[in-house]
Structure 1
Amino acid sequence: MDVDKVPELEIPDKLSTRDGICLAGNFITNSKLSFSAFRNITRQTKDVPSPYANKEDVKVFHLQPNFIFDDPILRTLIGEANGIFVTLQELQKDGNKQDYVKISRTYRSIIRACLEKLQEAVDTSEEYQNFITILYSIECIWHLSEILFIDPIPSNVVTPQLLEWTRFHFPAAERNATDLLLHGRDADESEEYWPSVKGLILQGQIDVARAILQLHSMSESNAFKMAEQILKSMPSYNIYGGLSVQKFRSQWQYWLTDTERKLSTGIFATEPDLEEIIYIIIGNTQTWNKFIKQSQNWYELFPGFLFFTDPACKSFELGTLAQCWINRWANIKDFAHSNFMKHLDKVILYLLESDIHKVLHSIQQIGDNQWFVTHLTDLLYNCGQLELIGENKLTDCEDFRLSLLFDFGSTLMARDSIWLLGINYLEQCGLEGEGAVKTLLSRIPVKNEKQALKVIEIAQGRGYIEVEHEICKIFAKRSMALGRPGNALDWAIRSKDTTYVTSITDFFLEHYSKTGEMLCEDVLSNIGAKMFVSPRLVFLVKYFDFYQFYRKKDFPAAAELLINLLDSKITPEFFWPSLLVDTIPLLESNIPQIPSKETAIILHHVESDLMPLIEKKKSKVRDNPEIPVEVIKHYRIENIEEIVKLLRLACARNISRAFIIENTQKNLVAC
């Protein structure tokens, strides 16, 4: 992974190559750019039409980095990391003392598990090799960060931890040693015997190397016994051993002098490989230069060299020591300048120099969609290590962490399959993050009602009522477009948008007034108290109740409800003809269903509501003499006038019958 090499991408836009035209770009999101041809206009520019107007198409190009976590294997990584992140935030919120080392190792364990899956599947995709390179770099940097910042040794003596880091990331010698130990006494017959022993020594694995030397067929010779004595007596610094650094250095110098004396006796002359091992452990320049020339990375042998030359060095000395080592390594490898260092090489140097600012800046360039820098920064912040950044330490590091969480969370919420994970990051960003969640939730490309209900559940759980309403409106419109008015009405009611509920309700009423068919009766019968979201919906539900009473021949109840609807003042203008026509069968009944007083109310509405409607429609036709015949028929003025005649006649008949019955009943009561 060479992030220092700037990739080049050609945008095939011919228009931008014309005179006076250039290619301009703008950010659409934090990771998406839009490019198009642009003509720079200033106040000195002549106001003339562009010579390219209406001649060439203007193309817009959208560029964004690949989102590697769309891959199924890597998606497990981002999901598990999200769980660790959420757990850490909850523990921090509770104020409990954290085991940050354990959390860091959990992060690294899921990276290693993902690496193993990628290595198993590397033959199935060429892209997996790139993913392996990325994750290896991430794990290598994270491990070293853990040693230097998350799990620092009280005495700042870091050489033992650096040796562990080297063994972990350069495991070839240890793997070969395992094979040799399985061979037993004939291990020295293998071609890998001495390279493995020397590799172990270079990594400071003295005990394992001694065990393999014991398997050599000449292990009982004086040279091997002397080597065993030298390796066994080599001092090892332990901060918990009660030995001061000065005392240890004295012991080390004595051992080194004694070893050089033994070496000068020529006891190892017959065993050149064994002699070379002794030269390694005393830090012989020529011997180390030989192995430096064979190494692939500058940091591969650096911890081992410290182990044999300055085993008690402090962490604050690592930067200077590493720079000297790099210069030596470059000279031996015949590199004329420092450009040989790749991105991972530089980040490791910055870590050893304790320059967290440069480390975090560099790892943002890794092609992992900012996953690594976001989680490592959050962990370093929570364990108090980010206070090294900036002048206003606490504010700067907190703002930096929040900006990473905000960008990463926004990126995740733009993805169809993992948008839910993004909320956990944005919720750590205060009011700005909450506002982003509200905005992005309503923009999630929901494909079906199941997904919509999931988004609504998330919004309800966080009290984002406006998000819930917005999604309901979207699905109400979508259902209407698909010809599902009942479903549309249900979504519109949930949106609590009075205007939109009214428009869908009007669709129901207009359909009934034209066809006499009531749509979606099962939906209307179960609306209940939700009808109060809109006066028009109240009218529809009550009219549906009238419709049910009438169908069941419960005429008294139907008549009472119909009169109430007439007096309710919520009847839409276009529905007056249909509503009043419904009174005719009740008025013409042999047994009067509507009393005389209510009949007068019906007649009043005929004159005050229906007749003005006729005049209004007539005026539209008169004021627009060029209206086509088809449109004039649509007004159905003749039909309404006929309805008025029938209503007047029905009212007259019903009121006469009602008067007779009512007066007869009064006389009987009087008697």
Structure 2
Amino acid sequence: MIITGVFRQSFYLHKFSIIAKLISSIIIQITMDESDNAQIVVIADDVCRKAGIATTWINSNRFGIHAYKHVDKFSQDTKSQFAPCEAKVHFLRPEIILFSPLLRKLVNESNGVFLSVQNLKSFSSGDIRPELLKHSKQYRSILRACVENLQEILPKEPLSEEKTMLENFLTIFYQVECIWHLTEILYVDAVPGDVVLPQLLEWISFHFPSRELVASKILSKNTIGADLENSNYWEAVIGCAFHGKLNLVCRLLALHSKADHSAFITADNIIKTMPVYNVYGGYSVNEFIIRWKHWQMDLCSNLETNYFVIDSNLEMLMKLIAGDESILWEHSMYTEAWYELLAAKLFYSAPCCKQLELSRYANSVAERWQANRHLDRVILALIENDLYQVIKEIQYMSDNGWFAAHLMDLLYKCGKLNILSKEKTNVTAQLHESLILEYGTTLMSHHSLWQCGASYLIHCPKQGLGRLEILLQSLPTGTEARINKIIDVARDNNMPHVVASICKIQGMKSIRQGRLGNALMLALKAHDGNFTTYIADQFLKHYAEHGELECRDLLENLGSCMLASDRLTFLGKYCEFHHMYGMGEFREAASLLVSLLVSNLTPKYFWSILLTDAIPLLEAEDVIFSSNDCYELLRCAEAHGDDPKFQDKISIFRIGVARNLARSLSLEGCQAEH
């Protein structure tokens, strides 16, 4: 049987894996059509092939697929042609890389930053961009730690599927960090004057450090004639020039075998005096451009007189610095990506380029480079301020929505998201919520990350609580600690019926296991009076059958919880009666016993037990019951003494009451005379 379809959450395409269960393993083939993003899952199940299939949602992002033949009122009533057969249920779920132990720290730490971002508006006044920038850097720090951890583990892993998985993780989160950094520069960090080149060069240098590393190795030797000893010398020089690392370029030129020649000395002076724009440099943009153009004219005049012809590589370097685009492309082999060329082009041709002008330069470079990788498309969309396209592209990064949820939340808080539908209506809030909603839902399917998932759903104002309500009830319960956590989340988010449902289910399990105390605590948590009454009845019936009160410590310390139901009140007071009796406080115990008898709280099956409990007190040496108490005892015996269990004690009870009545009347008469 072949199932073909596109599974999407927002714009998200999951990679699906299959788990075969119940009877035996099955053969599964998963293929991917790059052209239309369709996914084909082949399930080798002959019954499904013949009968057809149906799917059932289990929980979160898990589905059960099974054989199913549609039957309705028009179908002929005949014996099934498939019975008997080997019925199988196949479980379908996405591959969630975030559930890997290697990425657990990333998930947990980013959750803390996310929650901190949600609280910013309530504690800050005015512009919160500086605070959001701090949080953005925290996200990047978490990503960098994740990437470095993967880089550290990868060489230790032998060649295997694990190594392939680690390489995949490393690729994904390196790209995520790279895109996040650029987004931070363009949208979060407010630069005075909006000149983005200094930060753009920093971004390039950070993510493409190979040329600077080669330069550092050459400089560490500190030997003249480095160009003769090291074949990568000019590659390092040109690479550093592409990244705007002019101080490194000058230091490398000082190690050249012809460094003392006038051409090299002049080149060194020209490079060192090159004006580099700094927003805090004390010059306006216009003043800086005038100074930079004068400097460029001096350099060009030296090139026109062939001053640097002594060394072809030096001449090429100076032409590059002078902004000669042909030289830029001629040395493009020294770069790994088109945006390295973009940064170099801006640095030497348009050093005061503003963000609005950036897309024009980026498109020309990307088009000539023929940039069509996924990362290229995302970066180009960022530069073009097409955040709708960015969201679409990053949905395909196989990070299970971590990136889209956190990055778009940050941009939403910055006020940078402005997404319009085809009908030109603003859908920014809906899209923002849907990304967080899907990410939270994904985490809810994990046995230990579900609380993180819940914290994301809570911050989705329209649909979050509704989805959380459904998912909490579908979570596997497991240990008592886990059950209590689920109940706490439901209670904190005002879901009393969810609390009641979970408590009732778990309470019934506890009753079947003979754990009445645990069941009672669950019923009290749920504030479910009927269920509390039912459990209190179980306590009383157990006592009626076995003559022993269970969980006396719990019952003796119910406090105000005793008022949750009349039956629990009776149980608590009866437990208190036993406690007084055991402590030798017979008068207080007798008074409490009589109050229980006249309270109308006593269940029918328990009357005989209360009346029996009165017999030892009636036969005590001291007079414990008053005459009025004796009358109440007799009235109760007349009304409820017909219980078969009490028939063998009724005569003893009556004699005891008669004796106690005589003694109490005599005692009361003597007290009246005095």
Specify the TM-score bucket, using the shorter chain as the normaliser: 0.7 to 0.9
Letter in 1 for 2:110: A
Q: Say if 2:94 is the partner of 1:64.
A: yes
SS at match of 1:489: helix
SS at match of 1:366: coil
With the length of structure 2 as denominator, give the TM-score of the two structures: 0.81
Match of 1:608 in 2: 639
Letter in 1 for 2:661: A
Match of 2:200 in 1: 162
Please identify, of 483-492 and 239-248, the stretch whose mean Cα deviation from structure 2 is larger.
239-248
Match of 1:212 in 2: 252
Displacement of 1:352 = 1.9
Match of 1:78 in 2: 107
Letter in 2 for 1:108: R
2:452 to 421, 434, 459: 421
Displacement of 1:140 = 0.8
Displacement of 1:355 = 0.8
Letter in 2 for 1:112: R
Match of 1:105 in 2: 137
Letter in 1 for 2:647: V
Q: Say if 2:261 is the partner of 1:221.
A: yes
1:135 to 173, 176, 187: 173
Residue 252 and residue 656 in structure 1: after superposition, are their counterparts in 2 closer, same or farther (change >3 A)? closer
Give a deviation string over 1:76-116, Cα, whole Å, max 9, x none. Answer: 22333233333333222234232033332232222212222
Letter in 1 for 2:254: Q
Q: Say if 2:569 is the partner of 1:523.
A: no
Identity of aligned residues (%): 35
Match of 1:202 in 2: 242
Measured in 1, the distance between the counterparts of 2:64 and 2:668 equals 85
Q: Say if 2:386 is the partner of 1:355.
A: yes
Give a deviation string over 1:263-291, Cα, whole Å, max 9, x none. Answer: 45444444222223234334556543443
Please identify, of 33-42 and 316-325, the stretch whose mean Cα deviation from structure 2 is larger.
33-42
Displacement of 1:410 = 3.5
Residue 216 and residue 662 in structure 1: after superposition, are their counterparts in 2 closer, same or farther (change >3 A)? same
Give a deviation string over 1:320-352, Cα, whole Å, max 9, x none. Answer: 43333233223xxxxxxxxx7221111011112
Matches within 5 A, 1:96-495: 96=125, 97-98=127-128, 99=130, 100-122=132-154, 123-124=156-157, 125-126=162-163, 127-151=165-189, 153-186=191-224, 187-188=226-227, 189-232=229-272, 234-237=274-277, 259-260=299-300, 262-284=302-324, 287-293=327-333, 295-330=335-370, 341-387=372-418, 389-390=420-421, 395-430=426-461, 432-437=463-468, 440=471, 445=476, 447-453=478-484, 472-473=503-504, 476-495=507-526
Residue 290 and residue 540 in structure 1: after superposition, are their counterparts in 2 closer, same or farther (change >3 A)? same
Contact 2:338–2:366 under 8 Å retained in 1: yes
With the length of structure 1 as denominator, give the TM-score of the two structures: 0.81
Displacement of 1:309 = 3.7
Match of 2:29 in 1: none
SS at match of 2:231: coil
Please identify, of 243-252 and 399-408, the stretch whose mean Cα deviation from structure 2 is larger.
243-252
Letter in 1 for 2:570: F
Measured in 2, the distance between the counterparts of 1:561 and 1:246 equals 95
Residue 299 and residue 584 in structure 1: after superposition, are their counterparts in 2 closer, same or farther (change >3 A)? same
Contact 2:420–2:426 under 8 Å retained in 1: no
Displacement of 1:656 = 6.4
Q: Say if 2:87 is the partner of 1:87.
A: no
SS at match of 1:61: strand
Measured in 2, the distance between the counterparts of 1:95 and 1:391 equals 35
Please identify, of 482-491 and 438-447, the stretch whose mean Cα deviation from structure 2 is larger.
438-447
Q: Is the helix fraction higher in 1 or 2?
A: 1
SS at match of 1:204: coil
Measured in 2, the distance between the counterparts of 1:580 and 1:501 equals 25
Letter in 2 for 1:168: F
Measured in 2, the distance between the counterparts of 1:608 and 1:515 equals 25
Displacement of 1:131 = 1.8
Displacement of 1:547 = 3.0
Superposition RMSD in Å:
3.8
Displacement of 1:136 = 0.9
Match of 2:18 in 1: none
SS at match of 2:427: helix
Please identify, of 35-44 and 350-359, the stretch whose mean Cα deviation from structure 2 is larger.
35-44
How many residues are aligned here? 631
Contact 2:510–2:519 under 8 Å retained in 1: yes
Q: Say if 2:613 is the partner of 1:582.
A: yes
Give a deviation string over 1:473-515, Cα, whole Å, max 9, x none. Answer: 4554444344333343344334332222222222222222222
Measured in 1, the distance between the counterparts of 2:559 and 2:543 equals 21
SS at match of 1:386: coil
Residue 147 and residue 669 in structure 1: after superposition, are their counterparts in 2 closer, same or farther (change >3 A)? closer
SS at match of 2:356: helix
Please identify, of 205-214 and 654-663, the stretch whose mean Cα deviation from structure 2 is larger.
654-663
Displacement of 1:219 = 0.8
Contact 2:204–2:243 under 8 Å retained in 1: yes
Residue 274 and residue 41 in structure 1: after superposition, are their counterparts in 2 closer, same or farther (change >3 A)? farther
Bigger relative contact order, structure 1 or 2 (CA pairs below 8 A, ≥6 apart): 2
Contact 1:148–1:315 under 8 Å retained in 2: yes
Measured in 2, the distance between the counterparts of 1:559 and 1:431 equals 59
Please say which structure displays the higher CA radius of gyration: 1
Measured in 1, the distance between the counterparts of 2:440 and 2:376 equals 29
